[in-house]
Structure 1
Amino acid sequence: MLFVLGIGSTVGMGSCIVRVIRDRWVRAPNWALALSLAVLGFSVSIVYMTPGGQFVLNLVDFYGVSFTALILAIGELLAVGWVYGVKRFCADIEFMIGLKTGIYWRICWGLITPGLMLAVLIYTLIDLKPLTYKNVDYPHIAHVFGWCLSAIGLLQIPGWALYSICKQSKSAGLLNKLKAAAAPANTWGPLEQTMHEEYANQRRKFELQAKQRTNLQSAYDNLFG
């Protein structure tokens, strides 16, 4: 059962990584990228098979997965729910598959899920204790490595946000740069030309409606509109 569970998780994460690489950089065949990813993952994971592997795994899991993953997930939820917008996200779903998203999902994506994850994060940080393994303290250098590992993950959000802001027009003010950086690119949408034009019209309609609302009205409309 654990083997099947591991394979399922690996296929899901591996497919995501391969797709991002293909879409963004390399046009190599799927099998070549998947094989390269498998070899790389296997090579890195050999350390966990050594006598001290569990000691290292516990360190990586603590610093690289626990609260780091929670913070990244909360950031993703806030970005989709309140920067891109739950309403626009649901409109995209309807545009793609023709199904309206119920109010339950809107509230979950916009409020309940990020709120619960934030509560879990706060509890995790409050309950945070020095890392040990079988009552053995980790050396100082291990904690330094762990915090560096956490920083690599956590700095992705402000780092790429700053990169996106810096790419905007230099003549624009900071607020306009922030708005432009948070807005979808003009190429965002279906690849097929006719559908892309239809989607662009829908997007312009959303933007026009947003300009006519106050911040409070926009927040309400994002969930219930």
Structure 2
Amino acid sequence: MAWSLYYLAQSFQSPLPWELCPLLRNSSNFDPECTRTTSTVYFWYRHVLKVTDEIEIGGLPVMHLSVSLFVTWLIICISMIKGPKSTGKVMEGPGVAIVAFTDIISVFSGSTFWSIMIFVFLVTMGLSTMLGILQGLITPLQDTFLPLRRHTKLLTVGVCVLMFLGSLNFVRPSGSYYVNLMDDYWASLPLFFILISENMAMAWIYGARRFLADLTIILGRPISPIYRWLWCFVSPLVLLVLFVSTLTHLYLKPITYMAWNSSISNETTHNYPSWAKVLLVLLIVVTTLPIPAYFLYTLLKMILPVSRMKRRGTVFIRHEDKGDKSQPRPRLHVGLNQKKMNKSR
């Protein structure tokens, strides 16, 4: 969204800055790095990202992208505090490449107008997505820690500040390579794991038959029982195959990324370093670990009270001393009480 917001800010000029290659300083010649490729690709890598030739070369966050990122999280924070109604309703769509958009925009007449319209749409769509993600973080925190419900605004600001600080790594000159690492290799495995967990919880723990009955009540019409078989057998099997194949692909094949080579003005394939692979494994573990951890926590929370109740309900019987015959036996009282009840009947 920060990239789209920066492109939107750059769209209020004619001609658009990515339509032409820049001139060299004190010269009428175009930059040779731009002439070896297209002006839109050059603008993306050299002007927007200020990208390095490989992921190992770091650097401080790019200033204009940091400002765009700050404005992005400021808009998100204000929208969350004011309420989702202030942002309007936007239907989410598939991700698209910014460079491909700028190529298409440059062909149209009135490219400035179309650029503004398209990037307003992208910014609004990104804002709608981020609001949903942020709401999915704040609501579970308030449900788990009840005192946070009294400080919703403060919690929202705190989460947005932490998100902004964590996002600064992605606006460094090598930040786009981290984005590709997460987008290409990290997102799929946790997603499959979450889907498998949800499917198993619904179909086998809560019960697919019970869930089907709930849907029948909600919709007011019967639903085909074939869905129960799909939820119980077909869906888990397909998701498990996809999960295992993705895991096998990550294990057997080297993970690569496309880096910008300034000497030839083209993208080249590089292997991620070993520390990037370790980072990828840590990200996968951190995002999937809360599910089994919370499952064990809930299971123990249910088992411990039951065991305590059993201990409290245990009856200890003390054998009566054979020499002590002064006290009557309880059986006699029970028998007398039973005779009284029979007479009353």
TM-score > 0.5 by shorter chain: yes
One of 7, 17, 23 as aligned partner of 2:143 = 23
Partner in structure 1 of residue 73 of structure 2: none
Q: Which residue of 1 aligns with 2:210?
A: 88
Would you say the 8 A contact 1:90–1:100 is kept in 2?
no
CA–CA separation in structure 2 for the residues paired with 1:65 and 1:74? 15
What is residue 137 of structure 1 aligned with on the other side? 271
Specify which of 295, 304, 326 is matched with residue 169 of structure 1: 304
State the structure with bigger RCO (CA 8 A, min sep 6), 1 or 2.
1
Tell me how far apart the structure 1 counterparts of residues 152 and 215 of structure 2 sit (CA, whole Å). Answer: 27
Which residue identity is paired with 2:285?
A
The 5-angstrom pairing of residues 1-225 of structure 1 reads 1-25=121-145, 26-93=148-215, 97=218, 99-100=220-221, 102-103=223-224, 105-128=227-250, 129-134=253-258, 135-167=269-301, 168-169=303-304
Partner of 1:116, secondary structure, is helix
Alignment partner of 1:130: what SS?
coil
Q: Following TM superposition, by how much is the alpha carbon of 1:122 offset from its aligned partner in structure 2, in angstroms?
A: 3.1
Q: CA deviation at 1:94?
A: 5.6
* Letter in structure 2 aligned against 1:120: L
The structure in which a higher percent of residues are helix is 1
Quick one: distance in 1 between partners of 2:176 and 2:203? 38
Alignment-derived partner of residue 211 in structure 1: none
Change (3 A) 1:100 1:30: farther
Report SS of the residue matched to 1:55. Answer: helix
In structure 2, C-alpha distance between the alignment counterparts of 1:9 and 1:33, rounded to whole Å: 19
> In 2, Cα distance between the equivalents of 1:93 and 1:19?
25
Deviations 1:50-87, CA, capped at 9 Å, x for gaps:
11101112223345312122112211111122111122
Code of the aligned partner of 2:299? I
Report if the CA contact (8 A) 1:63-1:149 is conserved.
no
TM-superposition CA deviations, 1:101-121 (whole Å, max 9, x none): 612654454344333322322
| Residues 162 and 116 (structure 1), Cα distance of their counterparts in 2 relative to 1, 3 Å cut | same
Q: What value does the CA root-mean-square deviation take over the aligned residues? A: 2.7
Say if 1:98 and 1:56 are closer, same or farther in 2 by CA, change over 3 A.
Answer: closer
Structure 1 pair 99/171, CA: closer, same or farther in 2 (3 Å)?
A: closer
TM-score, normalised with respect to structure 1: 0.64
Larger radius of gyration: 2
Give yes or no for contact 1:86–1:109 (8 Å, CA) kept in 2: yes
When residues 44 and 152 of structure 1 are mapped into structure 2, their CA distance, relative to the original with a 3 A threshold, is: same
Alpha carbons of structure 1 residues 4 and 120: separation in structure 2 relative to 1, 3 Å: farther
Specify the code of the residue in structure 2 equivalent to 1:145: L
Q: Partner residue of 1:197?
A: none
Letter in 2 for 1:85: G
* CA drift at 1:145: 1.8
Give the letter for the 1:52 counterpart.
S
CA distances 1:151-185 after superposition (whole Å, capped 9, x unpaired): 1122223322222333313875xxxxxxxxxxxxx
- Identity, % of aligned positions: 29
Tell me, yes or no, if the aligned pair for 1:63 and 1:147 is still in contact at 8 Å: no
**Given residue 80 of structure 1, which amino acid in structure 2 is its aligned partner?**
M
Maintained 8 Å contact 2:216/2:223: no
Unaligned runs of 5+ residues in structure 1 are: 173-225
Distance 2:243 2:153 in 1: 38
Q: Which amino acid aligns with 1:169?
A: L
Q: Tell me how far apart the structure 2 counterparts of residues 31 and 58 of structure 1 sit (CA, whole Å).
A: 33
